[in-house]
Structure 1
Amino acid sequence: MQTQELTRLGVPQGAALKSGMEFIANFISQGGESARLEEELGAIISKPESFLGDPLREAFARDLYAPAYKQRDQIAPWHQWGVGLDASAVQQLANACALPVAVAGALMPDAHSGYGLPIGGVLATEDCVIPYAVGVDIACRMRLTVYDRKASTIAGQKDRLANIIESETRFGMGCEFKQRRQHDVMDEDWSVSPITRRHKDKAWAQLGTSGSGNHFVEFGSFSVSADDAVALKESGFDIKPGEYIALLSHSGSRGAGAQVCQHYSRIAMDRRYDLPNEMKHLSWLTFEEEAGQEYWAAMNLMGRYAEANHALIHKHIAKKVGAHVMLDIENHHNFAWKETHVVNGESREVIVHRKGATPAGAGVLGVIPGSMATPGFVVRGKGNPESLHSASHGAGRVMSRSQALQSFAWGNVKRQLAAAGVELLSAGLDEVPGVYKDIHSVMAAQTDLVEVLGKFEPRIVKMCPAGEKAED
């Protein structure tokens, strides 16, 4: 096995790569079977903390934790789901768990590198919040509405449904509705921070819009099996087995949320000036600081604003569809919650940051999408304490936007979409199915985090046209 194969399995560059090769040599020299080598490596990479104290595996396990910066004797415990994750994402989570304010962490199977905390990273901290561990698109969320109409009718209504999406959504960096939409969220106190006060008018103009990046609105087929119907009824939804028309949306708090993130991240970075460059986006604000209190209030307001955006999209589209809503499910990521978790045998209140990760407490419903040509799933959380009650928020990217533009051509993509029965209204090449991981592999890696209660298959998809800057 060569170093590039270790990198493929998720081993970061540096000491871990060297000790990984040493472990392989020792494993073989001590009679280990070559056929079991990748399984052995995967086990250590997934849970390195389980091998501390193991004479053969400890050196490799410890180097997997190696942070770029250390202000504590032992870094906070963290767990990983899936193998072959982006090595830089693994290193980013290890760095985050080396922060003096870190309590525990988790890495989801859709993880890829981000700024500071990786996408798919979960971090619990004590008495502080990290603006960039929440992210730029604060409270980005999923919402699924299922109608009492058979999915078989989609084919005959494609033009009508496409027109409904086009008329009731807006995509693009500065997109707005000429006639502003109304929601109680605009009656709230937007003076909780100078940033929200300054951007209230712009936020109102963008109310009910979707923006750019990986955001979408799509009609599709939602299928419910007999077992799914029983599980959904346990969660309060009485739906008979079958296939129904459904609407799925994904977007966040638009420009106002981005401004909140940028402003308070700059303050945090100024105050944590001793962090190395590769960790500056992990700068935190304590709740004793006025800036920390302001950010927390602004973040929660942005959460309610993002929720209002989806509520309006679904309200206006449901009215045009003219169907009864049988099921409404939503969940958000890119947020921080005050929660109580057991850490090192002690129950304590912590701030759980989920950057591109879905809340998955016991019995909590959520939506995990795939891509424009692959299914998404309604899930119910199992409340796994090691994941800090979290799951993936999607399939996860396997390449950058610039790589995607160099790797794909519309001719091949359109043939793939046609084979999947998907009509694409607009999107950029940087969001085509090939830029994402296999959603089925991602779901298989987190069966201990969530159970599937239904499947959504995209049929009519609207995303931001090519050429726009991504807001996700």
Structure 2
Amino acid sequence: MSIATENDSSSAPSKFQMIADGEATAILPTGGKQKPITVIGTEAIRATFDDLCLQQAINSRLAPGVTDLVLNPDAHCGYGAPVGCVMVSPTHIYPGPVGVDIKCSMSLLQTSLPADAILDRPTRRALINAICERTPTGAGRGQRNAPKSRHVGEALGKRVLVEGASRGVCEELGIPPEWAARCEDSAHVGHDDSTGALALRLEQLLPQMHRFDAKMTQLGSYGGGNHFGECEVVHVEANDRAREAARVFGLVDGGVAFLSHCGSRGIGHQLASGQFKALQGKFTQWDIPLPGGDRELVYAPLGTPEADAYIDDMALGANFATVNHLLINALVLEAFQEVLPGVAGQLVYFISHNIARKEVVNNNIAWVHRKGATRAFPAGHHALRDTPFAETGHPILLPGNPQAGSVVMAADAGAAVSCYSVNHGAGRQLGRKAAKRALDQKEVDRSFEEADILTNCRAYPIDEAPAAYKDFDEVLRSVKSAGLASEVARLKAKFVIKDGDQADD
């Protein structure tokens, strides 16, 4: 295939050039002898990457210990590293390519309801009200804002952070314990692969934590900004592979499902912010140069006390995020059962897109940092051995927007080129302030009414409107054309639980 260079979409010529090497793949040279950045995206998608995003990618690739960097179709500016990137290092750990919302994730609950059970608007409105009585939204909101939520005190909160979705924690919160087996990681351990390290680290942190007990009351809540809950109708793709994958995943064609997006709430933000501050202080104290001069690209070499502390704090936040999702799903199912008695539900999957994990990359153990990127292990991958997904690949949950829909995918063998990762969604094309300037509130609300999608909002958050995000179909075309993953099912929204506060991540 012919090689072509291209500039980004800004009106001024870009100082960066991506070199296309396929319909939906390219490389971005770093200016040095290092392996170039792998870029996933069609020409139209590559045109959405502005110079700041590309500069962050280069800074991240040139940072100490980094061996691989992948830029996904949803990429846009983030903390040090772009949102929508994968960063691999066998020797260093980086907080920036995880971000301040540790283990922001997606989960999907399949119910036993057929689509016609939620056709009428009064039923959907009753479901919205029942869910909001149990799962509060908003950056500062917790259990006191939802009369039918679960009470979580300080003692149980400590167990959540240390144990993750253990059987004991699940049973105490009314979460079906078998759902833990449907998690990418149901529990995270400390730097020495023990829960004891997490218990010790938490005891060290507690005296300096601001309002720990209040943060534990946020368990089972969505937060604000781009976090959401969506009631979906499942449409399985009409081919044998998709049907078999849907069967293994537990997806029901024409059935009602519920998709959730949230993370570790206030406790994750506090843990991440503390780590940024501590590591930035070390860089100043030791007069270490920052990669690209960016304070958000601080790092710690593995095996140092600083790296151990970050890994422990990330695990504490990740455990909260895991149980937060599982509790939300339990509360959502409870709400459905209140409005439509007899409904059953099964967790399809829970998967993160803001986390660092130890994985095998190029036959070596390395820390794979996924910032706005999600794991994509195909059928036959060694990590899926002895799981239900060994022959299909695990479910990949990709949110688009309520009007374009979201998708469930399964990875293909070609995902090796992206370090077994894909994008975490559509990705922003308008910043929040730009969206508020460019979009019309009445038109946004009218579009939801015309699509017959109900929401809990008096006015849909304009900075979260579909037009603030990239063309989801073009994003999906990038993933499929690059050979990373195939579509199993499309999810079409019937109502949305949302909040207008600024995003947690």
Using the size of structure 1 for normalisation, the TM-score is 0.82
How far apart, in 2, do the equivalents of 1:154 and 1:10 lie? 46
Whole-Å Cα distance in 2 between the matches of residues 101 and 163 of structure 1? 50
Larger relative contact order, structure 1 or 2 (CA cutoff 8 Å, min sep 6): 2
Contact between 1:86 and 1:111, CA under 8 Å: does it hold in 2? yes
Equivalent residue for 2:218, pick from 206, 213, 220: 206
Q: Which residue of 2 aligns with 1:108?
A: 72
Name the SS for the 2:96 alignment partner.
helix
**2:466 matched to which residue of 1?**
433
**Aligned residue type for 2:335:** K
1:75 pairs with 2:34: yes
> Which amino acid counterpart does residue 245 of structure 1 have in structure 2?
V
Give yes or no for the alignment of 1:85 onto 2:48.
yes
After superposition, residues 5-404 of structure 1 pair within 5 angstroms as 6-8=7-9, 13-14=14-15, 16=16, 46-48=25-27, 64-66=29-31, 74-82=33-41, 83-87=46-50, 88-156=52-120, 157-178=123-144, 180-182=150-152, 185=160, 188=163, 189-193=198-202, 194-195=204-205, 198=209, 200-227=212-239, 228-233=242-247, 236-237=248-249, 239=251, 242-272=253-283, 273-275=288-290, 278-322=293-337, 323-342=343-362, 347-362=363-378, 363-383=393-413, 384-404=415-435
Q: State whether residues 47 and 79 of structure 1, in contact with CA within 8 Å, keep that contact through their aligned partners in structure 2.
A: yes
> What SS class does the counterpart of residue 247 from structure 1 fall into?
strand
Structure 1 counterpart of 2:246, one-letter code: L
2:438 corresponds to which residue?
A: 407
Gaps of 5+ in 2: 1-5, 164-197, 338-342, 379-392
Deviation digits for residues 327-370 of structure 1 (CA, Å, limit 9, x no counterpart):
5222101100011111xxxx211111000001001112120001
Cross-structure match for 1:417: 448
- 1:10/1:85 contact within 8 Å kept: no
Q: What is the aligned partner in structure 2 of residue 54 from structure 1?
A: none
State the Cα distance separating 1:229 from its structure 2 match. Answer: 2.4
Q: Does 1:453 align with 2:504?
A: no
What amino acid is the match of 2:454? E
Partner Cα separation in structure 2 for residue 9 and residue 81 of structure 1:
19
Q: 1:372 Cα shift? A: 2.6
Cα distance in 1 for residues equivalent to 2:269 and 2:91:
23
- In the TM superposition, residue 91 of structure 1 has moved relative to its aligned partner by 2.2
CA distance in 2, matches of 1:364, 1:12: 41
For residues 397 and 334 of structure 2, the distance between their equivalents in structure 1, rounded to whole angstroms, comes to 23
Structure 1 contact 165–217 (Cα < 8 Å) conserved: no
TM-superposed CA distance for 1:420, in Å, is 2.0
Preserved CA contact (<8 Å) 2:62 2:291:
no
Task: Please say if residues 77 and 103 of structure 1, whose CA atoms lie closer than 8 Å, have aligned partners that are also in contact.
Answer: no
Query: Is the radius of gyration larger for structure 1 or structure 2?
Result: 1
Tell me the secondary structure at the aligned position of residue 327 of structure 2.
Answer: helix
* CA distance 1:445–1:195, shift in 2 (3 Å): farther
8 A contact 2:60–2:291 mirrored in 1: no
SS at match of 1:134: coil
Give the deviation of 1:10 after TM superposition: 11
What displacement does 1:257 show?
0.7
| Whole-Å separation in 2 of the counterparts to 1:329 and 1:10 | 42
Matched-pair contact (CA < 8 Å) for 1:148–1:325: yes
C-alpha RMSD of matched pairs (Å): 2.5
Work out the CA distance in 1 between the residues paired with 2:11 and 2:357: 28
Cα distance in 1 for residues equivalent to 2:394 and 2:350: 10
Residue ranges of structure 1 left out of the alignment (5+ in a row): 21-39, 49-60, 67-72
* Partner Cα separation in structure 2 for residue 196 and residue 390 of structure 1: 35
| Inter-partner Cα distance in structure 1 for 2:271 and 2:400 | 29
Deviation at 1:207, TM superposition (A): 0.7
String of CA shifts for 1:145-190, please: whole Å, max 9, x gaps. 1111111221221121111221121111211102653565156455
* SS class of match (1:131): coil
**Contact 2:135-2:331 at 8 Å conserved across structures:** no
C-alpha distance in 2 between matches for 1:94 and 1:133: 13
C-alpha separation between the residues in 2 aligned to 1:135 and 1:98? 19
8 Å contact kept, 1:117–1:132: yes
CA contact (8 A) 2:90 2:364 kept: no
Q: What amino acid is aligned across from residue 399 of structure 1 in structure 2?
A: L
Q: 1:45 to 1:321 in 2, by over 3 A?
A: closer
Letter in 2 for 1:459: K
